Amino acid sequence: MLKRIAVKDLKLGMFVCEFCGSWMEHPFWKTKFLLTDEKDLQTIISSGIKELWIDTDLGADADENRVSRLKEEVDQATEYLLKLATSAKKIEKISLDQEVKQAAKLCEKSKTAVISMFNDARLGKAVEVGAARELVEEISDSVMRNAHAIISLARLKTADEYTYMHSVAVCALMIALARQLNLPEESVRDAGLAGLLHDLGKMGIPDKILNKPGKLTDEEFVTIKSHPEIGAKVLMEGSDVSAMVMDVVLHHHEKMDGTGYPHGLKGEHISLYAKMGAVCDVYDAITSDRPYKKGWSPAESIRKMAEWSKGHFDEMVFQAFVKTVGIYPTGSLVKLESGRLGIVVEQGTSLLTPKVKLFFSAKTKSPIIQETIDLSLLVGKEKIIGRESAEDWGFKNLDALWTGK
C-alpha cells in the first residue's frame, strides 16, 4: 500500500516510491528503492524535502519495528524486482543517432496503421486490437533502445497529420512514462495501447471542426468534448481491451481540480493511468503545429505545463514525466553560459546536463563550427542559462541538426 509520510518518520527498511520535493533538486535520480543505507537516510533528511511516498507492501511501515522486519522486507523487495527483471524484454540501449532512422520508418508505418484503424472505426468495424498491440510492441522496443528518438520524431508532424501522429506520439510517451514509474511490463504495454487509442473517438468528430483554423464556437467545443465517450463506446462494442485502456480513452481530459471532462472527476477519483494520459496528451498537443497555432518548443512546453500542474496534472505523475523527457527535451534550443547556442540532442544522467550540439554564437551573431558537448562532463565550466526561441533568432528547420533531415 502506498503511504505518504513526513521525512522525519523515515526509517531504514522502508521502500521509497517518490519524493514530494522539487523535481530539479531530488537527492537521488532513482525514484524507487529500498532504503538500507544510513548515509542515504541522512542525505534525504538533510535535503530539505518534507514528505515522500513509501510502499508498505515492499518495505517497512511507519509504525513497524525496523530490526525485526528488515530481512523480510529486503527479501520481498528482491523477489519483486527479480520478477520484474525476468519478465522484461532485454533490449540494448543505443544512441539517438543510431535509433533515429529506425524510429523514422516506424513513425511512417505507425501513421499508416492508425489511419487504417480510425477509418475502420468510422465505418463501424471493430478495432483490430491484436494488430494494435503488435504496433505497441514495436514502439515499446524503440522506446527501450532510445526513448527520445521516436518521442521527438513523432512531435515533428504536420498540422494535416496531427490526429494520427498524435496517437503515435502519446503511445510512445505513455510507454516511456510507465517505465519511469517502474510499472510492470504488462501495464507498460497497456499504457502504450491506451495512448494509441486515446483519441479514437475523434473519428466521430467532423473534420471541419477538428481542423478549424479559428476559435471554436461553444457548440463546436461541446462536439469536440464528446470524443472520449465516442471512443469508449466504439471500444466497448467490439474490442477486447482492458478496463485501464478504456479508462484512459474516457478520462484523459479530466483535471485534478475537477474542471475537466467528460465527468468532471477530481483528484484521487482520477486513475493513475488517466492522469498519465492527461500529461502525455497535453505535452504532444502543445508541442505540435495545429491549424490554429504553431507548436511551442519542447522546453517552453515543459515550463508552461509546470505552471499549470497544480490544477491540471497530478504532481507526482508530472514530475515523473519531466524526468522522462527532460527539463530541456530533445530538440530544445538553449543558450549556454559561454554565449553559444545549441540544440539538445540527447538527455544525460542529470536533468540539467544534456548533450548539446552547438552551432551559433549569440555574442557575434554568427554561425560557429558545429560540435556536440556533454554538459555532464563540464560541470563548473559550462551550463545552460536559458531557453531560446528559434523565431526570435530567425532560425528555420533546427530539427535537422539532430534528425539529420
Given this model, what pLDDT does residue 22 score?
54
Fold of 96-325: Hypothetical protein af1432 (1.10.3210)
> SS3 breakdown of the chain: % helix, strand, coil, rounded to 5?
55, 10, 35
Contacts of 359 (CB under 8 A, 6+ apart): 341, 342, 343, 367, 368, 370, 401
> Residue range 92-106: average pLDDT?
86
Q: Among 99, 87, 80, which residue's Cα sits nearest to residue 152?
A: 99
The whole-number pLDDT of residue 275 equals 96
Task: Tell whether omega for the bond before 354 is within 30 degrees of 0, i.e. cis.
Answer: no
Question: Which of 64-73, 201-210, 322-331, 388-397 has the lowest average pLDDT?
Answer: 64-73
217 exposure class (CB count in 10 Å sphere: 0-12, 13-18, 19+)? exposed
* pLDDT digits 0-9 by tens, 26-44: 556 556 778 888 888 888 8
Check pLDDT > 50 for residue 67.
Answer: no
Can you give the residue ranges of every domain in the chain?
A: 2-87, 96-325, 333-403
Question: What does each C-alpha distance from 398 to 91, 357, 401 come to in angstroms?
Answer: 30, 11, 6
pLDDT of 342 strictly over 90: yes
Q: Residue 49 carries which side chain, given as an amino acid letter?
A: I
- Round to whole Å and give the CA distance between 384 and 170: 28
